[in-house]
Structure formats: structure tokens, C-alpha cells
Amino acid sequence: MGLEFHCVDAFTDTPYQGAPILVFPQADGLVEAQMRRIAREFGYSDTVFLQTADRVNQWHMHLFGSRGTPQPFAGHPLVAAGATLIHSGTLPAVDGETAFKFRLPIGEVDLQVRCESGKVMHSAFRMDCDLAVDAYVPSTADIAAILSLPDGDFIGMSGHVPLNLMGPMSCFIVPLNDTATLRQASFDRAAWARSSATATLPPQLLAIAPAGMQADGTLRLEARLFGLDISAQEDPPIGSAMPALASFMALSEPADPLRFVAT
């Protein structure tokens, strides 16, 4: 049995940059055990298998980590998978926007891929999600220790405080004063274990900091993802945390619609 696969660099237009994703656009007939073995064999941080659904322009999306562990959701594989459906010829490269859906464990996600002159130029996803806000978080001193910061004075961003966003894609979001502090931060597993985080927090922490405004008035943020399953050498893409971050920003930002850019 032969299987076509594509190695896709998401979030870049330069080869061997961005987030590397392995995508199998025509994985009908595979069962989960086979997908897990394939994902472990290749060892990519994210491996995607697409299987046709019972409706036109819908696919079941199966996502696995490098150890073959099923993942409920991640943003960058969605972007890569959407572009691959065009690259592979599964969908025609029609100029303009092509819309379709992926079905994941967390629900349906809408994808839009824009083509120009038969080439994929942009791939984006849209989703609705329900997230509950939990304001019970570790102390400022504990959060500073978890991020290896000297004290808690750096914690906070105008109008925002650390919060848990609990739901299908739970995330503990920590706003910091500036990007210099964000770049200095590193995850301290021992401090995490000593704090209440082990009992109260989701396994991933997103630290954010303001990075100025764009010419059109859009807020720019820098962000970094930390967690127990993320090694100190990794700087993983933040797409999986975007639904939680959008909800977090909407709590304190009066703009409607709210626009921001996070990198």
C-alpha cells in the first residue's frame, strides 16, 4: 500500500523555515494504530492524516505528536493541511478562496485557502469555541518562579492579569510587561511542581507581551508557549493557543471586532 505524504513548512514562504508538518492528504483505510506507528517512525512534532468525510469538502483530520500520541487540536497543522489539499491536487487550485471543513475531536473547524495564478498564497482557519474563565491561579511569586523571572514585578500587561482559559483547548495565559522579559523567561519544572499549578493549571502556559501597534492600529503581541511536554530547547508554534488567547484578549479589549497579531 503506497501513501502520498507532503512535508510542509507552515507560517513561512521560505523552505526549511517555519513549523515543519507531515501531511498525508489521502489516508482513507488507515486505522489509528497504523497512523500512530507512522507518526512515531517519522518523528515529526506534528503528523496529519486526512480521511474523507460523508459530506463534500469535509475531511476527518487525525493529528499525532512525535511519539504517536493523538492530539485534539493544533493551529499550524490545520494551516498546513489546508494548503496540502491544494498542493496535492485533492482540491483544484482555483483562484480566489476555497472553503472546506476539518473534523477534529474538539469539533468542526472552517478552513479557507486563497490561491493566485494556481498557487497557494494563504491558508487560515476559523472556529467557534466555548472557554470558561478561571481566575484562581498561582501567586505572582510562584508564576515568576515558574518562568525563571527574578520577581513578580514583570507579571501583568495593561488591563490584563494571568487567567486560566478552560475548555477543549485549555491554556494558562500569563501577560508580561515587555518583550525583553518574555525572551528572558524559561520554564522551571521544579517551580511548577512546588506550586499549585500541578492541581489547578492546564499543561501548557502561554506567556505574552505587548510589541507595539501596526500602522493600521492593530495591536501586536509576542508570545511563547511553555509546558511540561515542551523541552527547554523547543520554541513551538503558538497556533494551538490562539482560541484561548483570542478569548483572553476579548475579556479586556473593548474593540468590536477585536484585531491583534501574535507572533
Task: Go through 45-57 and write b for each residue having 16 or more CB atoms within 10 A of its CB, e for each that does not.
Answer: bbbbbbbebeeee
pLDDT confidence of residue 55 = 85
Asked if residue 120 belongs to a domain, the reply is: yes
Q: Which three cell numbers stand for residue 153?
A: 514585578
Out of 159-168, 174-183, 187-196, which region has the weakest mean confidence (pLDDT)? Answer: 159-168
Query: What single-letter amino acid sits at 130?
Result: D
Asked if residue 1 belongs to a domain, the reply is: no
pLDDT confidence of residue 256 = 67
Q: Do 101 and 67 belong together in one domain?
A: yes
Q: What is the dihedral of CA 126, 129, 132, 134, to 10 degrees?
A: -30
pLDDT at residue 255 tops 70: no
How far apart are alpha carbons 167 and 142 in whole angstroms?
A: 24
How far apart are alpha carbons 260 and 208 in whole angstroms?
A: 12
Asked if residue 40 belongs to a domain, the reply is: yes
Q: Do 254 and 139 belong together in one domain?
A: yes
pLDDT at residue 196 tops 90: no
Question: Strands, DSSP E only, in the chain?
Answer: 6-10, 19-24, 47-52, 58-64, 70-71, 96-104, 107-116, 119-126, 132-134, 163-166, 171-175, 204-213, 219-227, 260-262
Contact 239, 79 (CB under 8 A): yes
Q: How confident is the model at residue 135 (pLDDT cuts 50, 70, 90)?
A: confident
Q: Give the ranges where the chain is alpha helix by DSSP (H).
A: 32-42, 75-87, 140-146, 179-184, 189-194, 197-200, 242-250
Overall number of domains in the chain: 2
Q: What is the pLDDT of residues 90-133, one digit of tens each?
A: 988 889 998 999 999 888 899 999 999 888 888 888 888 778 88
Q: Do 113 and 190 belong together in one domain?
A: no
- Structural domain boundaries, residue 118: 6-126
Q: Do 160 and 202 belong together in one domain?
A: yes
Q: Which CATH number belongs to the domain containing residue 95 in this structure?
A: 3.10.310.10
Query: What single-letter amino acid sits at 223?
Result: A
Q: How confident is the model at residue 236 (pLDDT cuts 50, 70, 90)?
A: confident
| C-alpha to C-alpha distances, 236 to 7, 70, 95, 96, 190, nearest whole angstrom | 17, 17, 32, 31, 21
pLDDT at residue 4 tops 80: yes
Average pLDDT (138-148) is 93
The larger pLDDT score, comparing residue 61 to residue 10, is at 61
Asked if residue 49 belongs to a domain, the reply is: yes
Q: How confident is the model at residue 72 (pLDDT cuts 50, 70, 90)?
A: confident
pLDDT confidence of residue 118 = 84
Percentage of the residues of the chain whose pLDDT score is greater than 70: 98
Q: How confident is the model at residue 206 (pLDDT cuts 50, 70, 90)?
A: very high
Q: Do 71 and 160 belong together in one domain?
A: no
pLDDT at residue 39 tops 70: yes
pLDDT at residue 146 tops 80: yes
How far apart are alpha carbons 181 and 26 in whole angstroms?
A: 44
The larger pLDDT score, comparing residue 31 to residue 201, is at 31
pLDDT at residue 240 tops 70: yes
What mean pLDDT is reported for the chain?
A: 88
Query: What single-letter amino acid sits at 92?
Result: P
